[in-house]
Amino acid sequence: MKKTYCSNSYNNLLFNGSRLRRFIHLSRFYWLRNTLKKYNIKFKNVLEIGCGDGKTIEFLPLKNFNYYGLDANWNNSLNYAKEHYSNKKNIKFDEVLNAKDIKIDEGKYYDLVICMETLEHINPDQVCLYLEKIAQHCKGYFLITVPNEKGLFFILKRIIKLNSDNYKYNLKEILEITLGRTNNVKRFQHKGFDYDHIIYDIKKYFKIVKVEGNPIGRFLPNFLCFNICIIAKFNDLQD
């Protein structure tokens, strides 16, 4: 039986549509939960950048934690989150539109930071500002997922029409992205996004533990997967 998620524009777009779209978007939440269990990651204070409607909370395996979700309120998803969790004192949400909007008290640290399908939507000149801010308040693991928008998989996504029609490409751009030359394409959110560039930036502030594809990353190389999942951690955190 098909599971229908709470009706708001965010969920209707990502989770209540086609089976393929639902499977792909839910897979990152299962990856998050499985990664927390696999690495035995303990957490008390959670920070999520790009929290949407707070769906991540449902997939955290521990129950006693404090959660702080930040989002640009895309499709009013943050409004829904604030209303839905209004009676939970340990859960808080705030709207942020750039790195300067993130107001965290000095000396406040999080042992788990999550950022799923968000960094591709941040302007390239803001990415390191966000990562620097996160690094200032992370004393644990940083779990990230981003889309694969280049190479052969870029062509496959267009064939199966998984990408939104909001992203238009001319023939030259298609060729450049297929060949992995994303620097030759003007960035606009997913368009021209290169996960290798993000990994390079993350390495400036965190230690990379593992980079893996998702879903079915166990059977396919990363460059043929829908999502790239990055497990990073605070540099001084012991293995």
* In-domain check, residue 180: yes
Per-residue pLDDT tens digits for 78-126: 999 999 999 999 999 999 999 999 999 999 999 999 999 999 999 999 9
The answer to the question of residue 3 being in a domain is no
Residues forming a β-bridge with 91:
67
Question: CB of 71 within 8 A of CB of 95?
Answer: yes
Tens of pLDDT, residue by residue over 176-187, are: 999 999 999 999
The whole-number pLDDT of residue 3 equals 46
91 and 206 in a single domain? The answer is yes
Per-residue pLDDT tens digits for 192-228: 999 999 999 999 999 999 999 998 777 788 988 999 9
Looking at the fold, whether 218 and 122 belong to one and the same domain comes out as yes
Residues 56 and 159 in one domain: no
Q: Which structural domain range is residue 125 located in? A: 9-149+195-233
Other beta carbons within 10 angstroms of residue 206's beta carbon come to 23
Q: Are 139 and 225 in contact (CB under 8 A)?
A: no
What whole-number distance in Å separates Cα of residue 223 and Cα of residue 71? 28
* Token pair recorded at residue 211: 């980079």
Q: Are 223 and 152 in contact (CB under 8 A)?
A: yes
How many separate domains does the chain show?
Answer: 2
Instruction: Say yes or no: 63 and 117 in one domain.
Output: yes
Tokens of 16: 């209540």
Residue 110 lies in a domain: yes
Whichever domain contains 213, its CATH number is: 3.40.50.150
**239 within domain boundaries:** no
Residue 79 is assigned to a structural domain of this protein: yes
In a domain, residue 51? The reply is yes
Displacement of CA 237 from its chain's centroid (Å): 22
Nearby residues of 232 by Cβ (< 8 Å), 6 or more positions away: 141, 142, 143, 144, 202, 206, 207, 208, 209
Confirm whether pTM is higher than 0.95. Answer: no
Are residues 112 and 84 located together in one domain of the fold?
yes
Does residue 2 sit within a domain? no
Q: Are residues 65 and 137 in the same domain?
A: yes
Distance of alpha carbon 206 from alpha carbon 132, whole angstroms? 10
Q: Is 161 inside any structural domain?
A: yes
Same domain, 174 and 77: no
